[in-house]
Amino acid sequence: MEFETARKPSVFNRLGREPAEISHNKSVCIFWRKGKCLRNPCRFLHCEIPVLCTKKGSSTESFNQQDLPTNNSNYIRAKNTLVLKRSSETTFEKSREDAGSKDCKKETSKNLALKNEGSGSKSTEDVPKKSKEVSKQNVCESWAHGNCIDGDKCQSLHSWFHVDGLTILAQLQGHTKAVTGIALPEKNSKLFTSSSDRTVRIWDCNTGQCAHVIELGADIGLIISKGVCVFIGMPNIVKVWNIESSAEYNLNGPIGQVYAMEITDDMLFAGGQDGVILAWKISNETNPPWQPVASLKGHSCDVLSLTVGVNRLYSGSKDRTIRVWDLKTLECVMALDGHADNVTSLIWWDQYLLSGSLDCTIKVWAMHEGGNMEVIHTHNEEHGVVALCGIAGGNGEPTLYCSCNNNSVRLYELPSFDKRGSLFAKQEVKAIQSSPNGMGLFFTGDQTGLITVWKWSAESKA
């Protein structure tokens, strides 16, 4: 005897629709957009873009949920469904905003669906390409920590920069901690780098190989060069190496770590943790040739930056001030207040002083007729400024390099501050240095110990 099993009416039957009819409805559910749709399945679409797919032989393969980075802000979750949040700059989003009516939304969705149902391969290939461009706007956090296993297949960025006319010439690996300074002496084929791993490395510029590793046994604040000499700032001391004669000198006097140094034609300045700036005079008639001449006192905290311009020495400090010193008398002639946090970097450019601070600003100072300096422009950054470097990029026009504490370096045209592009590092870039003699090179060193050599193309626009 046969029994017929009673069947409950399906969701499709309750709605008075057949499954096939529902599957061809191309309108987007307005309740789903608001995150309030409780129907499963729903006769309207719960997705505003076509299914992303890539060609593989004669079939297509959809992206799985695990293939999409969950830490990427371009992706959002809605009702257990992973949906790609697309930029409002796309043509599709613009048409939705301009339409302003439900009928226009339906027509746009219909046209998009018909385009993707076409027999040509163009639409199938264009969709993954756009998806890749959108997803690769954020940097892979796993890569930044050195443990991304996806390699080139990762949907997020690895080692990224966006600057026209700029290429990576080399990446120098060897330091195990943060790079604190980069020096490229003139008329020399060696690159000197210092690190908080307590070493100085000497690199051959022709081969890119590390030629020497010098263990110094103490943290190194920075390294700079002038002529044939290399200067190394360390706790309570400044080391001087003459790379031609191999002579070495120890300049005592600083208290605490030396974070800032500056050199004129005949003087060396070094700022200590106690806020004092020591000055040494260069003389070929004495041995050693560096003789202490003055202690410049005024700052109440660590001196973090020094620069020279028009017979003045400028110093930036953790006490949030900039002090101006007369190079002839070595007296402080004024103190500049304007920053709300550490003054981390100073550069002198074309009669102007540029100061960067952790207060997320770059200030441009100018000297007025009365002798006072005032801020004539303030450029706001999203993140604190770690280091500034002003060099000629591309065709020789001035470019400002601004390292921020979000692991990025922003490039700006001067004096307009128009953005030229951005560089990204795994960790914060504390050292930026340009090459002498207009070689079109500059160097960055980050907290992982990686040194990157960048090269401008000759025809690029700075």
pLDDT at 342 over 50: yes
Q: What is the pLDDT of residues 379-398, one digit of tens each?
A: 999 999 999 998 765 556 78
Domain ranges for the chain? 47-153, 162-456
Give, as one character, the DSSP assignment of residue 151. Answer: G
More confident residue, 280 or 104: 280
Top-level class of domain 162-456: mainly beta
Mean pLDDT of the chain, nearest integer: 76
221 DSSP assignment:
-
**What is the rounded CA–CA span in Å between residue 180 and residue 198?**
10
Distance CA 16, CA 127 (A): 35
Position 146 confidence tier, pLDDT thresholds 50, 70, 90: low
Percent of the chain whose predicted confidence (pLDDT) is above 70 = 68
pLDDT for 460 equals: 54
Measured CA to CA, the distance from residue 194 to residue 65 in angstroms comes to: 44
pLDDT-derived band at 37 (thresholds 50, 70, 90) equals: confident
Could you give the CA distance from residue 364 to residue 382 in angstroms, rounded to a whole number? 17
β-pair partners for 40: none
**CA distance linking residue 462 with residue 321, whole number of Å:** 32
- In the chain, the percentage of residues whose pLDDT exceeds 90 is 47
**Looking at the predicted structure, is the pLDDT value of residue 433 above 70?**
yes
Is residue 321 scored above 50 in pLDDT? yes
CA torsion sign, 205 to 208 to 211 to 212? positive
CA distances from 277 to 55, 170, 237, 304, 405 (A): 65, 36, 13, 11, 26
The beta-strand segments (E) located in 229-310 are 229-234, 237-242, 248-252, 260-263, 267-271, 277-282, 290-296, 303-309
Q: pTM of the entire structure?
A: 0.67
**Is the pLDDT at 17 greater than 70, yes or no?**
no
Q: Which residue did the predictor score with more confidence, 446 or 37?
A: 446
Terminal Cα-to-Cα distance of the chain (whole angstroms): 89
Q: What is the pLDDT of residues 265-293, one digit of tens each?
A: 889 999 999 999 999 998 877 777 889 99
Give residue 438's pLDDT band: very low, low, confident or very high (50, 70, 90): low
- Bridge-based pairing of strands 161-163 and 260-263 is unpaired
Per DSSP, the three-state class of 334 is strand
